[in-house]
Structure 1
Amino acid sequence: MAEHNHSNSSLQPILDLLFAAGYVESDAPPSQIIAGGISWAVAALNANTTTAIYDESIEDSLRLVGCPHLLLPSHIRDLDTEALLPVVQWLTSRIPSHHVNEVCDAENAIEVDEHGTSIEALSGNLDELNHRKMNAVEQLDQLRERISKEGVDSGVQKLISSMMSLKDLERQESRFLFNRDSKHSELQAEISELERKRENDTDSQSLPDGLHQSLSESLEKINLMKKKLAARLRDIVVIRRQIDDLPCQSELNQYESRLSELNDQIQGKHRQTRKYYATYNALLEIKEMMLKETSLLNSIISQFQDAFSSTDGRIRLVHSMEGIVNGSQQKLEKVQVGLQEEEKIRNDLKDRYAAAIGEQKRCYSLMKAFQVKCQSSK
C-alpha cells in the first residue's frame, strides 16, 4: 500500500497538468488516465491524429505533432514518470487556449442539461465500450484455447516472453542513455567550473590534484558505464538471436507447403504400390483357378472314356460331377463371404475418409483464424 501511495504522489504532477489543460478526470487506473490524456492532447494539437494511443502508433503520433521527447508504450504501462513528465509538459504547454475553453463549456453544458441527454449518450458509449471489451476478452480466450489444442502454446509463450524481455531491455537501454546524457552534462559542468577556476588562478596548487582526481573518477565512471552497456548489448543480442531462431510466418507457410507436397507424393506412391499388389494378387488367383480348371477338364475327359465302356464308369462320372458341383458351390460361397468383407472394409474406409476430410477442414479454419489473430496482434 505504501508503494501504491508513493506512485500516486509521483504521478500527481502529471495528472494535474492534464486536468489543468482541460482533460476530464475519470475513475480509470492511472495508466489509462495518462494514456487517454496524452491521446487527447495529441488530438488537440493535430485534428488528423487518432484519439487513441496504440503500441505501434504512439511514437508516430508524437513525432507528427513535433514532440522532441522520446516516449515508448512501456513508459505508459510502467508509469515511468521520468519519461512521461517532459512529454506531458510539452503537450499541455502547446494546447490552444480556445480548446480548453471548449472543454470547459462542454462540461458546463453537461452539468446544466436538465434532461441528462449528454450523460445518457456517454452512458451508451460506455456500455458499447464494455460490450466490445467483453467480446475482445472472449475472442482472446478462444484464441488461447485454440493455441493450446494445436500444441503450440509453449512456442507462443516462449515468443511472448522473449518479446517482453526485449522490450524491457530496450526500456532499460533508454533509461541508461538518459542517465548517460545527464552524467555527461554534469561532467561538462565540472569541466567548465575547472576551466573557470584555472582562468581565475584560484588555489593553483590544489587545482591539479583536484583535476587529476576528478578525471580519474570520471574515467572510472565511464569505464563502468561502458561495461554495463556492453553487458546490456550482449543480452539484447542473445534475445534477438532467440527470436530469430523462431520461424516466422512465411517460413511456417513454406514448411507447410513442402510437407503437403511430400505427403501428396507419399500418398500417391502408396496408392500406386497397393494397386500393383492388388493386380498381382488378382492375376495370381486367376492363374491358380485356370490351372485347377485345366486339371478338372483333363480329369473329366479321362472319365468320359470309362463311362462309355461300362456302367460303373458312368456312375463314377456322375458322382465326380456332383462333387465338382458341390466344390464349386462351396468356393462360390467363400468368394461371396470375402466380397462382403471387402465391401465392409470399403465402407469403413469411406467413413474414415469423410471424417478425415472434415478434420482437415476444421484444422485449416483454425489455422487461418490463428494467422489472422497473429497478424492483428502485431
Structure 2
Amino acid sequence: SSSDPAAVHRPYCVETREDEEQSVKLAEILELLLAAGYFRARIKGLSPFDKVVGGMTWCITTCNFDIDVDLLFQENSTIGQKIALTEKIVSVLPKMKCPHRLEPHQIQGLDFIHIFPVIQWLVKRAIETKEEMGDYVRAYSISQFNKTHKLPEDEEFLQRKDKAVRAVLDVLEVYKPQRKYRRQRDAGELLDEESRVHSTLLEYGRIKTLMTSMAAMVNEEGKLTASAVGQIVGLQSEEIKQIASEYAEKQSELSSEERSERYGPLQQHRRALASLNKQIQQKKKQLEEETAAKCLNAERVVVLLISLLEKLRALVTMNENLKQQEQEFRTHCREEMVRLQQNIEELKTESGQDTDEEKYEKNLSFVYLKLSFLRCVQARRNREIAILQRKIDEVPSRAELTQYQKRFIELYSQVSATHKETKQFFTLYNTLDDKKVYLEKEVNLLNSIHDNFQQAMSSSAAKDQFLRQMEQIVEGIKQSRIKVTLTGEFSLFQPRSSFSVRRKLS
C-alpha cells in the first residue's frame, strides 16, 4: 500500500478496546481528576488521551516534580509526539516512588484498567501536597495582597501609629538623660568596672547612688567623715572615680599599719596561729566528711559484692546439677542405643533382610537414573519453550503493525515534502545561477560599450561601425532571450538534474 500514491490520503482504522469495564474506569478517572481540581477534564472537545495525560501531568506538576510537556497549547498530537509524551510521564513516575508499574504503550492504547491505580495514587499524592503547601501558599497570597491593597483597619492603624510614634519620641526627647560633667582626657584609665559605672553616673548627675555606696563604706570601716564626702563631691567629675578606686587601697594599707602598731609582733603571731588552727580544723572536718563518704561507698560496694557472690554460688550449684543430669542422660542414651542395636541385629538375623536391602538399593539407583533422565528431558523442553516464546514475542501484534504503518505513512509524507522542497531549491539555484551569468555578460557588455564610446564618436566611420556592432549585439540578445524562454518552458516539464547543480558548484 506504501507504493500507491493514493494510499497516503486513505484513512486507516485503528483497533481500540471499547468494553464496559474500560468506559467505567474512564468515568472513574475523570471523577477523580475533577475531585482533585483538574476541571479541564470537563471539556467535551478533548479526546480521552488528552484528558488522562493532561490530568497525570497536572498531578505530577502539583507534586513539585518537573516534566517537560505543554498540553495547554498542543492537542491532538501525532503518534510520535504521543509516544515521546508518554515516555516522559513514565520516566517521572519512578522518581516519585509510585508503587504501580505503567508502560508507555498502555497510556497510548488507553488501557484505563492499568491507568486507574496510577491516577488514583497521583490524585492522593497531589491532595497531600496541596494540604502541605496550603499554609505557605496562603501566607504568600496574603503578602502579595498586602503589597498592593490595604484594609480599612490597616489604614486606621497607620494613622494612629504615626501619632503614637511622634508622642513617644517627644517624651523621650523631653526626659532623655543629659550629661552635666565630662571626664578629662588626660585623666588616668579606670581599671575595674565598678569605678567606671560610678564615673558614668556622676557625669550624668547621679550623685545619690555614689553617696549610698560611700555610706555603706562608712558603715563598714567607720573612717569616712561628712567633710571628706563634701570634699569628694566638690572635686571635678574626672577625679571622683580615681579617688573612689584609690580609697579602698589606702584604707586597707592604713588598717594594716594601725593594727601592726597597736598589737605588735606577738599579737600578729597569735593571729597567725589562730588562723592556722582554724585551717587545720577545716581540713579535719573536710577529711572526716571525705572518709565518711568513702566508708559509705565501701559499704555499698561490699553489699553489692555479697549479693553477687550469692548469685555466683547459686549459678555454680545449678551448673553442677546440670552437668550431673547431662552425664546421666548420656549414659541412658548409650544404654538405649546398645539395646536398639541388639534388637536390629536380631531382626536382621530373623528376617534375612540383607537380600532385601540389595534389592532396595538397586531400585533406588534405577529411580535416581530415571529422575536424572526426566530432568534432562524437562530442561530440553523448557529451552524449546523459551525459544518459541521469544519467536512469538518477535512477531508484532496487529495493533503494533497498525502503529508502524501509520508512522511509516507519516514518515513517507515528511520525506516527500522534503524531496519536493529540495527540488524547488535546486530549481531556484539553477535559475539564480543563469541570472548571474547573464548579468555578468550584461555588465561586461556595458563596460565595453562605455570604453569604446568616446573612440567611436571621434569619426563618422568609427561611428557607423559602432552602430553596426550595436545592432548585431541587440540581435544576439534577442536570439538569446528567445532561446532562454524556450529553455525555461521546456524545464517546466523536464527539470534539471542534480548533476548539473553539482557540476556548477564544483
- Tell me the TM-score normalized by structure 2: 0.24
Relative to the length of structure 1, the TM-score reads 0.31
Report which of the two has the higher share of helix.
1
